[in-house]
Structure 1
Amino acid sequence: MLSTLPKRRLRENVVLVAYGGGKDSSYSLAFCRAVQLMVFANQGETFRLRSVTNRHTAMPRAVMDNIDRAYRALRIPDDPDCEALLVDGDEVKPFQVDEVLAAPVIARNRVDLLMTGHRTAAESRPTFCNACNLSMVNSFGVAAAYDGGVDVIVTGDSPEEQRAYYLWVNRLTRHYGRNPAPSKETGFRRFLEKADDLAQVYFTGILGPDSAAEVESRRVTHEVPRALTFFSIYEDTRYSAAEHWHLLNDYLGFVFDELAFSFTESDCGAPTLMAHLRGLKCERLYRRSYAEGLAEYVGFALGLMRRKEFPERLIERMRARYADEDSINRMRAKANDFAREAFALGEDQLVCMLYSPFPGRGEGLEAYLAAEQPDLAAVAAEIHALLDETAESGDDRDLVTRLEELSGLGLERLRTLYRSPAIPGRGTHANGDLVGAILAGDPHKAVIPTRHAPGGPVVHELISGR
């Protein structure tokens, strides 16, 4: 790592490590802190370590507690050569375990989830991860540019993984980008420029062509130091939780919380909601049982855990979490509580998103109303007129209020969805837009056998998740 530091005096160099509060980033943070202290012991001075946490609404309180315990165990808060920061959108602030997430970030996360979810029939990865991933990339730019910038970013990805991700972003930009004028930038600045291009295309597509101000607030920062380099610790440390159990649990005080530790994630509650949505889909769309849908998702997600080489004790803990009726009911209640607390959404709003009734000029509206809101089926024509703006919203304020309550979105958002293209077919992801292309390149998906009706024939469906 020292060979990558460009400045002659060690203390003038700033090394950035992203700390999301999960088990993998905990290894990275501990590794960087150990190197920093060893350098100081050998040379009497050392580089500055900047640790940054990008926050989002699906990050449970337990994650912040894990971060706080790790910082204290590593004695980061009291070391002037360390800075622990939070990034809320584009705002950088010192880490405080009780710091309330900024209200604009909460509102933005909720809108992004609902607008993407309605466009994709609540397919897990795009619904929960697309906007979050772009936000994470932006946080790298924000943190790397903050207060004079940084010299090195430490990553746990191998050089091959970094290159594959860079090429994937290049391909997406080439096919779906805005094709701006050629850039003279190279390296990480160029990567961030391309990510910014994709962010603008993505959010314009999701939020609508009249959403320039909202798209601007979701752009990716790319004004980082040109000499910035990356250093991979992939060859120097393994991410196996079994091998680092003592470090995680006994030294860093890491707790695998029931909500924060969700299948392959140990810093996000979204996979719990992904499993919940699969249960609701089977219960409400396929008219089977919630438990059957949950079992389909659990089987898929446990397979992801094995592919990522999770220790058997954690896989068994996850299996037991959904093992019987009492456990399933408890997790359903916990998922509903989290959806309300994090996104102000109840089951009615989640089910509406699963039906995706509004895109494609209300292509799925009648089916949704017949199945879930039969008292509104008789006024389907009025709803179409309202969303098509051939009726004034003031004509039936009660109807507007009802639609907003069912969907979780205001009337103008619903009209944007109404003008947006519908998905081509549930479980296919064959649409030729950026949302479909992102999912097509995502490894966190699989084809599973399922039934779309009780006792119906076995069909194969593509699902995604974490």
Structure 2
Amino acid sequence: MTETHDQAMHYIYQQVLQRLLEHMTQAQRASVQLLVQRLLVIAGGQEHIGNVRVLALHGVDRRSAHLLACLRAAQLSIAIRHATTFHLRVLAARLPTLDDAALALHDRCFSALFLHDDPRVELLRADGGQLGPFGARQACSAEQLSAAGNAWLLFGHLVGGQPDALLGARGYLDMGTSLAQVLGGQAGEQILISAVPLAQRHRLLAWGRRCLRQTGEVAHSLTPHNVLVAGLEQLGKVLADPWQPPVPPMHQPPCGDPHLMTVEDLLRHPDDSGSLDRMLGRLEMQACQAQGPAGLFDPLPLAHLHGLKTQHLEQRTYREGAQAFYQRLRQPSVPWPHGRVLRDEAQARLLAAYGVSEAQLVCQLFTPFDAQGHNLETFVLRCHPGMRVALPYLHRALQGRPCPEPVSQWLVDTSGLQLTQLRALYAGTLGSQARRLFRLLGQRDLWLRPLPASPYGGYLRLQAAK
């Protein structure tokens, strides 16, 4: 029965490969052959290819889908020629969250490539820094979601409420944590596939090294892979409790030293007819659905934060801020999602990813608690005028002095932070090393490009002078 089943599955995989190659252009088929050769060389020959684990970080962009198609074709080609092949692990990720549309897109792609029932393939998803099997069910528990949301909001307060840093540089740390979990404790040769262009990859590595120096790590002694995985994971731990002294990461992480394989040169197919897109179920996708390297960043929540910032801080309309962000994407053919459609959908994604409310997002944009409540009065008058009479009690609560319990509870509910964290922000007790780290993190967007200093974030501006 087992032999009959294996023969039937072998025939099915042959049909999948044939169908996949038929939908590829000649250039794409040549890329598959080059990919096969590279993998066999890294493995040390066909007799060792069965010990190789290949990890692909899968976004919702077109390049990610084409990369996965090439990997699948390479996997099946090797299996048909040599009986054994590498183990493929696919981490479906989208920051800040995998919404229903992204899940459906991934599912169509995985089904077209016949990945779901292949024992040589493992499909994963990441949520709130936690891993789980790919599917509609979120990978993190309610407690883990709450912890992730608390750390995310705290980061926003400490970097001056910069939307681009909150949904930019912070996302790379979440990504590093997920990658470390996937790679940890796995035997055999591990290969991390990257389709990120060379210039962006160098920017990421340089940024990672600079950040690691702020944790006491000798960054030049680390390999690029450790910077990308173990280093970013360590930075994530520092951010979760920034008032604790940073502990340098291990020089030999348990996952060993994965091989970073770059394949951006294999995905340059200007003559692509779109046949592969049709096979992978991508024809319904809009022109603009993801940004950043590997298409891992969702632009909708970031446009939402810019809309809230324009409305509440700059006292213009929400529409102006969100629309200006979309215009910055330099894709004028992309229609701007109008009205409540954008606002409600973006807020739903942030709620699913971090459990945060719109009021908490507005609060962190103002950063009202740092620098002895530098922006507290402005925040209260603009967003919560009914609390104006309680301003003296708000300061007392943040100073750790006796005050009515409802006042303390209002601070916690409005900010999404713990009272101890609010008091630490108010007192400015963050150490100099951690201040430098957050200042560095707060200066990069989702492309790791420099950001202008926020005129509203008092903490970093005032503390930098100390």
Q: TM-score, normalised by structure 1?
A: 0.75
Distance 1:282 1:245, change over 3 A: same
- Could you tell me how far apart the structure 2 residues matched to 1:290 and 1:275 are? 10
* TM-aligned CA deviation for residue 264 of structure 1: 6.0
1:65-464 aligned within 5 A:
65-87=104-126, 92-98=131-137, 101-158=140-197, 161-174=200-213, 176-179=214-217, 186=223, 188-189=225-226, 192-205=229-242, 208-209=243-244, 222-226=253-257, 228-238=258-268, 243=272, 245-248=274-277, 250-254=278-282, 261=289, 270-300=298-328, 302-303=329-330, 315-316=332-333, 318=334, 320-322=335-337, 327-391=338-402, 395-420=403-428, 433-440=436-443, 442=445, 443=447
- Could you tell me how far apart the structure 1 residues matched to 2:225 and 2:293 are? 26
Distance 1:339 1:163, change over 3 A: closer
**Conserved 8 A contact 2:50-2:84:** yes
Aligned counterpart, 2:8: none
Q: Which amino acid aligns with 1:386?
A: A
Q: Which amino acid aligns with 1:6?
A: G
Report the 3-state secondary structure (helix = DSSP H, G, I; strand = E; otherwise coil) of the residue aligned with 1:77.
Answer: coil
Report the 3-state secondary structure (helix = DSSP H, G, I; strand = E; otherwise coil) of the residue aligned with 1:9.
Answer: helix
Identify which range, 94-103 or 379-388, moves more after superposition.
Answer: 94-103
- Could you tell me how far apart the structure 1 residues matched to 2:251 and 2:61 are? 23
Distance 1:378 1:220, change over 3 A: farther
Aligned counterpart, 1:58: 97
**Conserved 8 A contact 1:137-1:192:** yes
* TM-aligned CA deviation for residue 115 of structure 1: 1.0
* TM-aligned CA deviation for residue 389 of structure 1: 0.5
* TM-aligned CA deviation for residue 93 of structure 1: 4.0
Distance 1:447 1:50, change over 3 A: closer
Deviations 1:148-199 (A, max 9, x none): 254322111345544443333223323x12247x998645346544334433
**Conserved 8 A contact 2:124-2:134:** yes
Within the alignment, does 1:27 sit opposite 2:58 as a pair?
A: no
- Could you tell me how far apart the structure 2 residues matched to 1:265 and 1:170 are? 18
Distance 1:239 1:96, change over 3 A: farther
Within the alignment, does 1:39 sit opposite 2:78 as a pair?
A: yes
Distance 1:348 1:171, change over 3 A: closer
* TM-aligned CA deviation for residue 351 of structure 1: 2.0
- Could you tell me how far apart the structure 1 residues matched to 2:107 and 2:204 are? 31
**Conserved 8 A contact 1:141-1:223:** no
Identify which range, 89-98 or 343-352, moves more after superposition.
Answer: 89-98
**Conserved 8 A contact 2:96-2:349:** no
Aligned counterpart, 1:3: 41
**Conserved 8 A contact 1:261-1:268:** no
- Could you tell me how far apart the structure 1 residues matched to 2:390 and 2:103 are? 47
* TM-aligned CA deviation for residue 73 of structure 1: 0.8
**Conserved 8 A contact 2:60-2:290:** no
> What percentage of residue pairs aligned between the two structures are identical?
22
Would you say how many aligned residue pairs link Structure 1 and Structure 2?
A: 411
- Could you tell me how far apart the structure 1 residues matched to 2:146 and 2:236 are? 18
* TM-aligned CA deviation for residue 357 of structure 1: 0.6
Q: Which amino acid aligns with 2:63?
A: D
- Could you tell me how far apart the structure 1 residues matched to 2:108 and 2:130 are? 23
Identify which range, 106-115 or 40-49, moves more after superposition.
Answer: 40-49
Q: Which amino acid aligns with 2:256?
A: P
Report the 3-state secondary structure (helix = DSSP H, G, I; strand = E; otherwise coil) of the residue aligned with 2:84.
Answer: coil
Q: What value does the CA root-mean-square deviation take over the aligned residues?
A: 3.8
Distance 1:19 1:87, change over 3 A: same
**Conserved 8 A contact 1:276-1:294:** yes
Report the 3-state secondary structure (helix = DSSP H, G, I; strand = E; otherwise coil) of the residue aligned with 1:230.
Answer: strand
**Conserved 8 A contact 2:54-2:193:** yes
Report the 3-state secondary structure (helix = DSSP H, G, I; strand = E; otherwise coil) of the residue aligned with 2:264.
Answer: coil
* TM-aligned CA deviation for residue 359 of structure 1: 1.1
Deviations 1:324-380 (A, max 9, x none): xxx234322333343444444333222222211111121111111222222322332
Distance 1:201 1:266, change over 3 A: closer
**Conserved 8 A contact 1:348-1:406:** yes
Q: TM-score, normalised by structure 2?
A: 0.75
**Conserved 8 A contact 1:195-1:220:** no
* TM-aligned CA deviation for residue 263 of structure 1: 5.9
Deviations 1:274-319 (A, max 9, x none): 212222222222222222222322222x22x5xxxxxxxxx52x3x
* TM-aligned CA deviation for residue 384 of structure 1: 1.0
**Conserved 8 A contact 1:178-1:197:** no
Q: Which amino acid aligns with 1:321?
A: W
**Higher RCO by CA contacts (8 Å cutoff, separation 6 or greater):** 2
* Residue ranges of structure 2 left out of the alignment (5+ in a row): 1-37, 457-466
Distance 1:382 1:64, change over 3 A: same
* TM-aligned CA deviation for residue 230 of structure 1: 1.9
Distance 1:273 1:256, change over 3 A: farther
Distance 1:286 1:94, change over 3 A: closer
